Amino acid sequence: MRPTMRAMQLDRPGERLRAVERPAPAPGPGELLIEIAACGVCRTDLHVVDGDIRGHLPIVPGHEIVGRVAALGEDTDGFAAGDRVGVPWLGRTCGRCPYCRSGRENLCDDALFTGFTRDGGFATHAIADARYCFPIPEAFGDVEAAPLLCAGLIGWRSLKLAGEGEALGLFGFGAAAHILAQVAAWQGRRVHAFTRPGDAAAQAFARALGCASARGSDQPPPEPLDAAIVFAPIGALVPAALRHVRKGGRVVCGGIHMSDIPSFPYADLWGERSIRSVANLTRADGEAFLKVAAEIPAKTRTTPFALGRANEALDLLREGRIEGAAVLVP
């Protein structure tokens, strides 16, 4: 008899998630049925719920999943029943398109995304393609590991695109930045955090994690930046960051959605400065990042919520009242 699962489901954009109960799905060929131990609440989930990005509905959000293999479909390699696994945003790619064939599977036009185009982790169980799951390092507990699966991974990819510069600015100090600040400091970089103006608690949090400075986004950094990563979904921060980047520097936009970027003088871009976005992740990103995160080891600040409190966790995230990351625990 198949187990029963509980989930928090989005029926229409802008509505509250609805508690549902149904039989757990059976894994198909190459798939895992995962009993979920923890699932992070990401800003991308908020964009899905609020309708900023539109996908398949109804949907169970959540793409920072940590759990254990409850059942395996046919022809499934790499995992066994009881193994602890992590499920990220990238759920499957076609493997045939030019992007997939050139090592850029994060840009695949025929991809599936966990919690967006296939049901995700705001639930007790989820189905995942085994090829896109990661073993979770023993250095992390279930709740602590959950934010690594997207906040950590997108931060890692953003850092790669930012280049090797020593002076790094992080605009928006939430789930991604609080992990990335530790990675960048461990690499020997000087990290400058920028928060909402007047957010003394977030600034103290940033300094406690090794940031060389922390101040409001309305203030200049103490030195010119080699690169800046914008995690906050506020388009006006892009030209603001650009003004603080030295010649040849980069501004990386780390979110999947952002408000419109206002116009700015060409002089602010001149000098071979650049702006680029980050899209999704690759499996190679995940393997490299989780190894580094365990070596540091990175510490995630988490606030756990019962599964039925998913709407409350989303509300607090929307209001900027979560320090670090919210995590649902079924």
Phi, psi of 194 (to 5 degrees): -125, 125
> Which tokens belong to 304?
């756990």
**Quick one: pLDDT band at residue 309, thresholds 50, 70, 90?**
very high
* pLDDT recorded at residue 60: 98
Q: In the chain, which residues fall in CATH 3.40.50.720?
A: 152-277
Measured CA to CA, the distance from residue 78 to residue 90 in angstroms comes to: 18
pTM value is 0.94
Residues 6+ apart with CB under 8 A from 233: 43, 47, 172, 255, 257, 258, 259
* pLDDT recorded at residue 2: 67
Q: In the chain, which residues fall in CATH 3.90.180.10?
A: 4-148+281-286+299-329
**Quick one: pLDDT band at residue 3, thresholds 50, 70, 90?**
confident
pLDDT tens-digit map of 68-85: 999 999 999 999 999 999
pLDDT tens-digit map of 90-147: 999 999 999 999 999 999 999 999 999 999 999 999 999 999 999 999 999 999 999 9
Measured CA to CA, the distance from residue 251 to residue 275 in angstroms comes to: 5
> Which tokens belong to 179?
């992990």
Q: Find the helix or strand (DSSP H, E) in which 323 lies.
A: none
Identify the three-state secondary structure at position 242: helix
The domain defined by 152-277 folds into Rossmann fold (3.40.50)
* pLDDT recorded at residue 62: 98
CATH of domain 4-148+281-286+299-329: 3.90.180.10
Measured CA to CA, the distance from residue 39 to residue 86 in angstroms comes to: 9
76, 130 in Cβ contact below 8 A?
A: yes
Q: 175-186 and 200-208 are packed helices; what angle lies between their axes, rounded to 10 degrees?
A: 30
**Quick one: pLDDT band at residue 56, thresholds 50, 70, 90?**
confident
